[in-house]
Structure 1
Amino acid sequence: MTPTTGASVLANTRREHLAARRAHRRFLLLARLAIVVIALVGWELVSGTLVRPFYLSSPTEVAATLAGWAASGQLWYHAQFTMTAAFFGYLLGAAAGVLVAWPLAVLRLAYRITEPYFLIAYSVPAVAMGPVFILWFGIGMAPKVLIAAYFVFFIVFINTVAGFSQVPASLLEVTRVMGASRRDQLPTVMLPSAAPFILAALRITLPAAMIGAVTGEFISSNRGLGYLTRAAAGSFSTSGVVAGVLSLSAIVLLMNLMLRPLRHALRWQREVDVPDAAAGR
């Protein structure tokens, strides 16, 4: 086989591979859209026939409620507060989880000493901390951010410690021999090795951050999608409650899309899955 022929075969193979990937993506998109359409049609048929609209509003009524909120500006007004609290709570909890895990993972004895206290704090239901934060910081934005950060912190912390503990000791010793300090080892050795664990934790804590922000709005707030949903429930508006839930789901999806650049940057890393149940505390 001549070099020209070999290059032609490789080019054809690459084109076939890319075409197969595009076809697979189209199939996945169509399959997902089909599931949504079937679910909406079934929902529309069930509402008002098998189930009373009071208990299960129809998609058309939910869409009308969302359109009304959007037209009046309520949706955008309340969504900005929820997104702000969830976003900054997510960043604060994730950063704190990594920064606290690093020295404790390096100083194994310190982690073994403090581990029971972290487990005790983690065992406290995060929802129960909502009234405490509101009592300490009032009913403004700060308690919502802190509640969201509390939901995120322990999941990121535990998985980061697990990721750091997987770093080969021989690799750390080699870098020390080459003159690297422990501070130098963090960006060059420890973070790349623990990246799959951290990334897995970041992915499953997106809903947790939203849960934290909405929890604060449910407890005490006069703005935000949590407040809007609570107000709809108080007026027995099933379509309003469902519209609020769908709006929150859309924000979580949007935040998940924001992690795509990070996932692409770490495509060389093997991803690690952690139990989704951890996010539902």
Structure 2
Amino acid sequence: MRDATHITGVPPTDLLSFGDQVLAEERRRFNAANRDHRRFLITARLGVFAAALILWEVASGTIIRHFFIAAPSTVSVALYRWAVSGELWYHAQFTLTATFLGYLFGSLAGILLAWPLGIMRTLYRITEPYFLVAYSVPAVAMGPVFILWFGLGMTPKVVLASYFVFFIVFINTVTGFQQVPQGLLDVTRVMGASRIDTLRTVIFPNAIPYVLAALRITLPAAMIGAVVGEFIASNRGLGYLTRAAASRYSTAGVIAGVLVLGGIVLVMSLMLRPLRHALRWQDAVEVKGGAD
């Protein structure tokens, strides 16, 4: 049999070196194409944003009355006044605190409760109707109930934010536990695996993508819960600041509050990028109870 040298006239070591060079060149081209694509996306997004701002500025006061849509320049003035006076930072700290505490407590409660129920399927079938009834109640409707129970301080906002987070994490964690094929569980038992080994090597790895996917979308949900609580009854927080602007018929203040809340949610989404990267190696997971 002829070796590579007889066939190609090139020693095998040179062929390997040539192959490495080809792969390196292709990798360089791929990275360059990715960078160009990212630059195009950033430029296009900035262009759309600038065009929207210009159209908004022109339309306000000419096509649409200032009372309904304040111009970006007016909104910027309202934001500047809030920032200079300290109102923005003062109210933002309460909203962010309620959001992160609600996210933490809701996520932990959802995972810890889903753990035994996801493994003991019969117990979950018994309790499932009660969870479905509780989940069917609109979370916003629970705001006055929590305020009645816990007063007007920080506690009802944290509880409401946790309520928004809990069911999404709980349902998806249970789904992750129950998606393990029964045949795979039977094989592990036949091979002599203990319950702890089955949990560690089969059940938990299968549930992780569902848990991460739920955690990825529930931080903005926690923000919604905290703000809803502030809208209903509060004297501090970004929800209160926006509601106070609406009570004064300050369109610029209302839009400024909405923009601040949207900016915070955007920053939160960027903070959750590591979870997106962690999910890339997993198969596509359908997240229940929320939208991306």
TM-score category by the smaller chain? over 0.9
Structure 2 residue runs without a partner (length 5+): 1-9
Q: Deviations over 1:193-213 (max 9, x none)?
A: 123322332233232211110
In 2, distance between residues paired with 1:81 and 1:17? 45
Superposed displacement of residue 187, structure 1: 4.8
Q: Counterpart in 2 of 1:164?
A: 177
Q: Deviations over 1:6-39 (max 9, x none)?
A: 1100100111111111111111111211221121
SS in structure 2 at match of 1:86: helix
- Name the CA shift for 1:22/1:180 in 2 (closer, same or farther; >3 Å): farther
Work out whether 1:218 is the aligned partner of 2:222: no
Indicate if the aligned counterparts of 1:197 and 1:271 stay in contact, CA closer than 8 A. no
Show the 5 A alignment for 1:261-280.
Answer: 261-274=274-287, 278=290
Give 1:94's aligned amino acid. S
Give 1:11's aligned amino acid. A
Work out whether 1:106 is the aligned partner of 2:119: yes
Work out whether 1:87 is the aligned partner of 2:84: no
Superposed displacement of residue 178, structure 1: 4.6
In 1, distance between residues paired with 2:207 and 2:255? 39
In 1, distance between residues paired with 2:257 and 2:125? 43
Show the 5 A alignment for 1:9-20.
Answer: 9-20=22-33
In 1, distance between residues paired with 2:152 and 2:59? 40
TM-score where L is the length of structure 1: 0.92
Indicate if the aligned counterparts of 1:199 and 1:271 stay in contact, CA closer than 8 A. no
SS in structure 2 at match of 1:236: coil
Give 1:147's aligned amino acid. L
Deviates more, 1:262-271 or 1:131-140: 262-271
Indicate if the aligned counterparts of 1:166 and 1:193 stay in contact, CA closer than 8 A. yes
Deviates more, 1:263-272 or 1:15-24: 263-272
Work out whether 1:26 is the aligned partner of 2:39: yes
In 2, distance between residues paired with 1:21 and 1:5? 24
Q: Counterpart in 2 of 1:191?
A: 204
SS in structure 2 at match of 1:221: coil
- Name the CA shift for 1:264/1:43 in 2 (closer, same or farther; >3 Å): same
Superposed displacement of residue 273, structure 1: 4.1
Q: Counterpart in 2 of 1:181?
A: 195
Show the 5 A alignment for 1:61-100.
Answer: 61-100=74-113
Structure 1 residue runs without a partner (length 5+): none
Show the 5 A alignment for 1:241-260.
Answer: 241-260=254-273
Indicate if the aligned counterparts of 1:131 and 1:219 stay in contact, CA closer than 8 A. yes
In 1, distance between residues paired with 2:288 and 2:59? 33
Q: Deviations over 1:140-184 (max 9, x none)?
A: 1111111001011111211222222212233334444454424x5
- Name the CA shift for 1:187/1:28 in 2 (closer, same or farther; >3 Å): farther
In 1, distance between residues paired with 2:69 and 2:200? 51
Superposed displacement of residue 107, structure 1: 0.7
Indicate if the aligned counterparts of 1:208 and 1:279 stay in contact, CA closer than 8 A. no
Q: Tell me the matched-pair count.
A: 278
Q: Counterpart in 2 of 1:239?
A: 252
Superposed displacement of residue 271, structure 1: 3.6
Give 2:64's aligned amino acid. V
Larger radius of gyration: 2
- Name the CA shift for 1:186/1:78 in 2 (closer, same or farther; >3 Å): farther
Q: Deviations over 1:99-149 (max 9, x none)?
A: 211211111111111111001001111111111111211111111111001
Superposition RMSD on alpha carbons, in Å? 2.0
Indicate if the aligned counterparts of 1:229 and 1:244 stay in contact, CA closer than 8 A. yes
Indicate if the aligned counterparts of 2:168 and 2:288 stay in contact, CA closer than 8 A. no
SS in structure 2 at match of 1:53: coil
- Name the CA shift for 1:211/1:116 in 2 (closer, same or farther; >3 Å): same
In 1, distance between residues paired with 2:215 and 2:205? 15
Percent identity over paired residues = 65
Q: Counterpart in 1 of 2:61?
A: 48
Work out whether 1:119 is the aligned partner of 2:123: no
In 2, distance between residues paired with 1:32 and 1:252? 18
Indicate if the aligned counterparts of 1:197 and 1:272 stay in contact, CA closer than 8 A. yes
Superposed displacement of residue 66, structure 1: 0.7
- Name the CA shift for 1:102/1:165 in 2 (closer, same or farther; >3 Å): same
